């Protein structure tokens, strides 16, 4: 007879405690350790200089843990002030095999950037993490043994899907920024409304989570009182984009 699965909070704490080991395992599997920058990444996976320093104030793992804290402590306050909390809760309180989406999203947050440890490439003047979100989903499905920890197949798939979708609005942001259009006016534009409704259609199973994850991920990039200038410059825009995205997709009569 097998041992009973540990309770959810114990499993979550185990993943949190093991993040450095998970990161190093991913680096070993996916990076060429003969290259000095990758050997340094293996040694110091959470060092800020191993990340994108113009957009992030902290290393990847510190950012991840700050994200989880914002999810638990600050996002409910934002949603309440926007009068969206009841609608979001109605989605996140839905269970998957006995665990709410709200709680499973906490696992997804801890693993959302695990693909950065495989995706990282050296650029001319900074590191690049292209398509890291896709790699996060693939690693969760194929390399991390969540079922061994007691998560069901459906729960594991939800964790993987939301991790790989955490950057959907990040891609929208990047495109708008490259056009010089990423400001609060963009959040209220007809184009952003169209893009938001397209995201809802393309991601019917987690379009609400996409907005929640974008908000938490953005809050966890920088302290607006002390962080790097480029990251601080988009801090309030990110919040406005998250608010308007959730208003658009939750107000849509097709919900």
In terms of Cα–Cα distance, which of 95, 98, 113, 126 is closest to 216?
113
Assigned domain for 67 exists: yes
Residue 1 lies in a domain: no
Q: Is residue 202 part of a domain?
A: yes
* In-domain check, residue 3: no
Q: Which of 154, 163, 153 is nearest to 112 (CA)?
A: 163
Total count of domains within the chain: 1
Answer whether residue 128 is part of any domain. Answer: yes
Domain, as residue range, for 212: 8-251
pLDDT in tens, the chain (255 residues): 345 556 999 999 999 999 999 999 999 999 999 999 999 999 999 999 999 899 999 999 999 999 999 999 999 999 999 999 999 999 999 999 999 999 999 999 999 999 999 999 998 889 999 999 999 999 999 999 999 999 999 999 999 999 999 999 999 999 999 999 999 999 999 999 999 999 999 999 999 999 999 999 999 999 999 999 999 999 999 999 999 999 999 995 554
Q: How far apart are the first and last CA of the chain?
A: 44
Beta-carbon count within 10 A of 68 CB: 20
In a domain, 2, yes or no: no
207 alpha-carbon distance from chain centroid: 13
145 domain residue, yes or no: yes
């Amino acid at each position: 007879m097998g041992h009973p699965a540990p309770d959810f909070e114990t499993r979550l704490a185990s993943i949190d405690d093991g993040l450095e080991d998970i990161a190093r395992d991913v680096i070993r599997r996916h990076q060429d350790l003969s290259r000095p920058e990758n050997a340094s990444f293996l040694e110091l996976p959470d060092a800020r200089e191993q990340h994108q320093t113009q957009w992030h104030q902290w290393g990847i793992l510190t950012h991840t843990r700050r994200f989880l804290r914002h999810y638990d402590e600050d996002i409910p306050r934002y949603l309440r002030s926007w009068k969206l909390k009841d609608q979001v809760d109605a989605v996140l309180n839905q269970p998957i095999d006995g665990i709410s989406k709200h709680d499973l999203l906490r696992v997804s947050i801890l693993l959302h950037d695990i693909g950065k440890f495989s995706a990282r490439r050296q650029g001319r003047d900074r590191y690049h993490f292209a398509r890291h979100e896709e790699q996060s989903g693939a690693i969760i499905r194929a390399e991390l043994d969540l079922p061994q920890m007691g998560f069901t197949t459906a729960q594991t798939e939800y964790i993987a899907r939301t991790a790989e979708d955490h950057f959907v609005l990040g891609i929208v942001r990047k495109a708008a920024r490259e056009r010089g259009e990423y400001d609060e006016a963009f959040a209220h534009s007809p184009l952003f409304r169209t893009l938001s409704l397209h995201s809802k259609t393309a991601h019917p199973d987690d379009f609400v989570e996409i907005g929640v994850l974008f908000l938490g991920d953005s809050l966890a990039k920088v302290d607006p009182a002390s962080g790097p200038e480029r990251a601080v410059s988009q801090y309030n825009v990110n919040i406005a984009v998250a608010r308007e995205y959730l208003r658009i997709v939750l107000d849509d009569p097709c919900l």
